[in-house]
Amino acid sequence: MPKKPITIPKFRNTQDEADWWESREGKRAATELMKHAVDTGTVRRRKVALKTVTMRLPEPDIEAAKDLAFRKGIPYQTYIKMLLHEAIEKERRSA
Q: What is the pLDDT of residues 31-81, one digit of tens each?
A: 888 888 888 888 777 778 889 999 999 999 999 999 999 998 889 999 999
pLDDT at 2 over 70: no
Rg (CA), the chain: 17
Give the predicted TM-score (pTM) of the model.
0.53
Q: What is the pLDDT of residue 68?
A: 94
Domain 48-95 adopts which CATH fold? Answer: Arc Repressor Mutant (1.10.1220)
E strand intervals along 9-81 = none
CA 51 to chain centre: 20
Domain boundaries, the chain: 14-44, 48-95
